[in-house]
Structure 1
């Protein structure tokens, strides 16, 4: 039964009805009785659907085979899903009849994965895949309701976001410029002939915010040297080239400064076509190989703390925020459908906390004076406001 409607700040009434697949549907209306009636009608619809007779012998494995065959997802997503199915879901659930799984069974599975030492992101990914699979079984009348409801997952603790300072960036560029390679079957080293390319790759990454796969997907003709623009149209993945980006906003024009233009011209100014960045063995740069062979050694040589190549993208975001570029413009440059990444660096904005500082400037002692005036409540902290 839906919970009783609650009044919103807007004056309307709201309640939420749990759907058979475990999700909730929100119902809002200015009239309380309308909300109650809509909730009753919706629950009655689900109650009538519960008369559907499901196949008690249909196993999770049987349903998964049909479900995976009908899905249309990107190759990298399909590969991740296949891995989670084979390693984490199939061994536990393949032989279980769909109709015999309840919420506590799912919770026990999640707990067992945590006890086995699996990381929170892996557990969440496996659980979410099973949840989607069973939710679709409900929609296909193979299951009355999904057992993936109110299951407690381990909390994912994300590391603090970081970025490169300008000094760190310069040291990395110096390390790349002086990059050497071991001569086979000798103890000698020689300058890396691709050093200018790696400098251009990192420079464009840090100043444009392109994802590593977007950098690797660039062709020479995507660079407009006259206007200082790069056109993002394709992404190189471990499963091959993919047109466009992760979202509609990912295909875009992105500016780069003259110093990056100089790096790009040194590397590709004499070419008109072909991949902009190429791997030593031929073909395009591959993210994992770049990280292992080039990026990680450059950070060590530069004395910079380890970090994934995505650090270049976060560096671009932080630099633009610090320069006072509007959030909307940064969002367009990064190709984001939301301002989530930008919000991480909001505290770096030149006008961050401006209202607080203005309040201090208007009467810097007013707050502390009020706290220590006789008859006023003292601050529980030893240092007043701690300012």
Structure 2
């Protein structure tokens, strides 16, 4: 096998993964494309596949990255190349794996998913016809509190109807404040807006219909405290019935709350306090969401925004 050319090496390896390793046809197809890329790069560099060095691979990674290939996509390509050189080593055709110590660029931290203001209002204003009136009133209140206060799902389910020595959290209607137990068992108070307070009053009036003996603020059909999973299911269903294109989960409403307060106020420190973040660094991710909002507004409104992007030479 010492005298075979690069194309024959690739074909022999693909036969190995297809027959000996019994990889799926889709995986073999991906390997075929990745190895074709490797062979083309090697040919352009004027080296055979068996003469490729780590410096070559790093240069090709940099080229893929600058061309817009995602970090995950590059990592998958490198995985395929690495396996190829492992096999070559077992055949005695290479003495070292040039891909062994090469890593893909770090993936950027994804932005939290947040709804636009119009979508948030659309969800909050939705009325589900035909549902149990008490449950509809409860779900509307849950939606208003998640979006209006930025509560975590654990903080929401921990709310009781009234303050007590054992309550993890409660809402002071008169003061318009929610008192919650957040991460690290840290207590904080969050203002509750007018719409959420009105929704809460409607829910408190409807709650006796469920014959709840549990002190929990939010209870189900059998009068027991709702679980986080139950709320996730109900909120996802509600968002789809409200006509939103994206299924909504509770933390998305927390992200929406933070993003919209920051867009309106520009006060990052206040958003940190409202969310109960121990570090301002955790809150700073919302400045990226805020910039996206500004960029969209610019693209839509500025007469010179069309075709915005790098100048073409």
- TM-score, normalising length: structure 1: 0.42
Alignment-derived partner of residue 311 in structure 2:
381
Gaps of 5+ in 2: 1-71, 73-100, 163-169, 209-213, 299-309
Shift of 1:337: 0.4
1:180 aligns with 2:130: yes
2:148 maps to 207
Q: Out of 116, 125, 129, which is 1:165 matched to?
A: 116
Cross-structure match for 1:342: 283
Say if 1:247 and 1:337, in contact at 8 Å, map to a contact too. Answer: no
Q: Deviations over 1:292-350 (max 9, x none)?
A: 2x111111112221232211110110111011152222111111101244312214659
Aligned-pair CA distance for 1:258? 1.0
Answer 1 or 2: higher relative contact order, Cα 8 Å, separation at least 6. 2
- Is the Cα contact below 8 Å between 2:277 and 2:283 reproduced in 1? no
| Residues 229-378 of structure 1 aligned to structure 2 (within 5 Å) | 229-233=177-181, 245-247=182-184, 250-268=186-204, 274-292=215-233, 294-304=234-244, 305-347=246-288
Cα distance 1:289–1:157, how it changes in 2: closer, same or farther (>3 A)?
farther
3-state SS of 1:193 partner: helix
**SS of structure 2 residue aligned to 1:218:** coil
Question: Across the two proteins, how many residue pairs are aligned to each other?
Answer: 186
1:339/1:382 CA distance change after superposition, 3 Å: same
The 8 Å contact of residues 176 and 191 in structure 2, kept in 1 or not, is answered as yes
Alpha-carbon distance in 1 for matches of 2:102, 2:227:
38
The 8 Å contact of residues 220 and 275 in structure 1, kept in 2 or not, is answered as yes
Structure 2: distance between partners of 1:270 and 1:194: 9
Structure with bigger helix share is 2
CA shift digits 1:211-250 (9 cap, x unpaired)? 01110100122211122101113xxxxxxxxxxx3235x4
- Please report how far the alpha carbon of residue 153 of structure 1 lies from its aligned counterpart in structure 2 after TM superposition: 9.7
Q: Which is richer in strand? A: 1
Per the alignment, do residues 264 and 153 of structure 1 end up closer, same or farther by CA in structure 2, a change over 3 Å counting? farther
Q: 1:269 to 1:170 in 2, by over 3 A?
A: same
Q: Which residue of 2 aligns with 1:34?
A: none
Q: Residue deviations 1:38-71, cap 9 Å, x none?
A: xxxxxxxxxxxxxxxxxxxxxxxxxxxxxxxxxx
2:176 matches 1:228: yes
Q: How far apart are the structure 1 equivalents of 2:220 and 2:207? A: 17
Distance, in Å, in 1 between the alignment partners of 2:113 and 2:152 is 16
Instruction: Give TM-score, length-normalised by structure 2.
Output: 0.51
Summarize the alignment of residues 11-160 of structure 1 with structure 2, pairs less than 5 Å apart.
159-160=110-111
RMSD of aligned Cα (Å):
3.4
Q: Compared with structure 1, are the counterparts of its residues 247 and 200 closer, same or farther at alpha carbon in structure 2 (3 Å cutoff)?
A: same
CA distance in 2, matches of 1:225, 1:313: 21
> 2:272 & 2:106 partners in 1: Cα distance?
28
Structure 1 residues 343 and 329: alpha-carbon distance in aligned structure 2, compared to 1, 3 A threshold? same
